[in-house]
Amino acid sequence: MKILVATQKPFAKAAVDGIRKIAADNGHSLALLEKYTDNSELLAAVADADALIVRSDKVTAEVVAAAKKLKIVVRAGAGFDNLDLAACTAAGVVAMNTPGQNANAVAELALGLMIFMNRNQFTPGTGAELQGKTLGIQAYGNVGRLVGQKAMALGMKVLAFDPYLPAEKIEATGAKVAPSLEALYENSDFVSLHIPATPETKGSIGRRLVGLMPKGGCLINTARKEVINEDELFALMAGREDLRYVADVAPDRAAEFAEAYGKRYFGTPKKMGAETAEANVNAGLAAATQICKFFATGDRTFQLNR
């Protein structure tokens, strides 16, 4: 079988080498399309692929239609808002992700961004410590839990809100359960977002919630830019001169945020939460292994479009 790795944002070399070895050991061939700039390159590359590994690359209905031999696509990572699951299902293509494999990298970055913001973005001036402050975590999945664990190690109090998890599971980690989403925002010096981008969450973080944060509150977004209502947040930060926003997924209006809010805003130039060699290796090799297992035994663990 031919496995295509199509990544606009390439994996570290160690990950590509590892994927190649897994493919070869299982009798499959590997094709690589990296740093492509035009969707036509992806459409051409998928034409004869039996399996596809992507990162945030968009696997649209057009891509699925062009991939006449495709049997499985694996998003090497957690969020799968880049996959058109309905198109995959209609074409009989199995879609999977690799949950948890890059979670530690994203969690470390969330912590790093908090320190960066509390230390004047590493410019002269008096900063503040994280110890003793409260971190609210919205969605306590693989990334959220790791952020909580690391924050507790730094002496932070951790509050979590996750309607899909029983309270005991959250409390077992040492975090406290926020009784409502509003309570999470009201009682947290920092709120870190770990929600996926879905029709329900898109545009859901705006004036109503962020406006509840206490003085000096800081919103951390290493999730998806689409979950933010940018216009509302922009207007809110104009009226609340204490609020801060830091994003690993810079808003569309990034230049305006930077211009208007200076040290109260920071966005990484590129989405880089999962940009570590370890995360690339973990997620990339997991994707390759899942594909090989699927071809060998029909294993569908981690299938998203059941």
Q: Which stretch binds ligand 3PG (CB under 6 A): 61-69, 129-137, 173-181, 267-275?
A: 267-275
Strand, coil or helix: what is 40?
Answer: helix
78 in contact with ligand 3PG (CB under 6 A): yes
Q: Which of 79, 144, 217, 284 binds ligand 3PG (CB under 6 A)?
A: 79
The two structure tokens encoding residue 228? 């933010």
Q: Which residue is nearest to ligand 3PG (CB)?
A: 77
CB of 199 to ligand 3PG, least distance (A): 17
Q: To 5 degrees, how large is the angle CA 105–CA 108–CA 113? A: 125
250 in contact with ligand 3PG (CB under 6 A): no
Q: How far apart are CA 139 and CA 63, in angstroms?
A: 31
Nearer to ligand 3PG, 78 or 137 (CB): 78
- SS3 percent helix, strand, coil of the chain, rounded to 5, is 40, 20, 40
Binding mask 94-133 for ligand 3PG (x = CB under 6 A): --------x-------------------------------
148 in contact with ligand 3PG (CB under 6 A): no
Q: How far apart are CA 267 and CA 172, in angstroms?
A: 33
56 in contact with ligand 3PG (CB under 6 A): yes
The two structure tokens encoding residue 183? 């309570």
Nearer to ligand 3PG, 9 or 240 (CB): 9
Instruction: Please give the size of the binding site for ligand 3PG, defined by CB under 6 A.
Output: 10
Looking up tokens 């110890």 gives: 131
Among residues 217, 298, 300, which one has the least CA distance to residue 264? Answer: 217
Nearer to ligand 3PG, 76 or 156 (CB): 76
Nearer to ligand 3PG, 75 or 157 (CB): 75
274 in contact with ligand 3PG (CB under 6 A): yes
Answer yes or no: are the C-beta atoms of 171 and 115 closer than 8 Å. no
157 in contact with ligand 3PG (CB under 6 A): no
Nearer to ligand 3PG, 77 or 144 (CB): 77
The two structure tokens encoding residue 18? 């590892």
Helix intervals (H) in 46-199: 61-66, 85-90, 103-118, 142-153, 167-171, 181-186
Residues of this chain that interact with ligand 3PG (CB under 6 A) are 9, 55-56, 77-79, 102, 271, 273-274
